[in-house]
Amino acid sequence: GSAMAAVRAVEIDPEGTFKYILVRLQRPGGGEQRDIVRGTKAAEFHNHIFEKVNPEMEKLGYECKCLGGGKIEHNSKDKKIRVFGLSTGYGKADHSVTVEILKKEYTDYEITWSDDKK
């Protein structure tokens, strides 16, 4: 198994509405790559999330690129996740990609996305 597979595809807060980013991991010089989702209420701005993820991934030997951001509304009680909004700094992530990644992790959830700002 590759070390990249060991990196968790999704790390988001268990509840609430918060900023998220879509990050592409890549081995320097190309080769395998993988997209991961990171989001937390602790981040006031999208770049705060990236500034935390990037050094962690560099230690593992990956280059990181932020593919954009948005917001996630996580309702664990009703098992619903809504992906929406955008990042001013990074632009809008492809929320449909984010949803596919989330679906693998939250298999019994209803997961939707839109380009709504709120």
Contact 98, 92 (CB under 8 A): no
Is 19 annotated as belonging to a binding site? yes
Catalytic residue among 46, 48, 74, 95: 46
Q: Which amino acid is at 71?
A: K
User: 46 catalytic, yes or no?
Assistant: yes
C-beta neighbour count of 96 within 10 angstroms: 9
**How far is it, in rounded angstroms, from Cα 16 to Cα 40?**
9
Residues 6+ apart with CB under 8 A from 12: 18, 20, 37, 38, 39, 40, 72, 74
Cβ(73)–Cβ(17) below 8 Å:
yes
What residues form the annotated binding site for substrate?
19
Residue positions forming the annotated binding site: 19
Catalytic residue numbers, as ranges = 46
